[in-house]
């Protein structure tokens, strides 16, 4: 099952490259990611198949991993409105989406407060 890692980095050149290099050396493919600066730090979300192995590899290299969560990984159409339709179904089920980003192959990553209910809504 796909998992999202939350990684906190120093906001300086090279930290993103280090994450990619560590995961690459461990044989872990990055299926999706999003990152942004926040309060002087970099926050990175990385989608991988084996979250525990990725977390171990990163922490062994001194990278701070603050979260590991299961996600919904949905194939959606690459067309206007596709995201809104998907998000509306989840919202109508009373589920709050905590994080959403796109992954490779026009796949949508959803982290929500109730993955089972979100999955059923779709």
pLDDT, tens digit (0-9, with 9 covering 90-100), for 53-85? 999 999 999 999 999 999 999 999 999 999 999
Cβ(4)–Cβ(97) under 8 Å? no
Strands 3-10 and 41-48: antiparallel
Catalogue the E-assigned strands of the chain: 3-10, 32-38, 41-48, 64-70, 72-75, 97-103, 107-112
**80-114 tens-digit pLDDT:** 999 999 999 999 999 999 999 999 888 888 888 88
């Amino acid at each position: 099952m796909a998992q999202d890692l939350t990684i906190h980095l120093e906001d300086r050149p090279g930290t993103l490259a280090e994450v990619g290099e560590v995961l690459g050396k461990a044989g872990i493919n990055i299926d999706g990611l999003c990152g942004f600066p926040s309060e002087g730090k970099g926050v990175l979300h990385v989608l991988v198949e084996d979250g525990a192995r990725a977390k171990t590899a990163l922490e062994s290299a001194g990278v701070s991993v603050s979260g590991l969560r299961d996600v919904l990984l949905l194939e959606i159409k690459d067309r206007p409105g596709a995201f809104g339709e998907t998000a509306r179904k989840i919202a109508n089920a009373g589920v709050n989406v905590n994080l959403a980003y796109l992954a490779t192959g026009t796949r949508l990553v959803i982290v929500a407060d109730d993955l089972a209910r979100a999955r059923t809504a779709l």
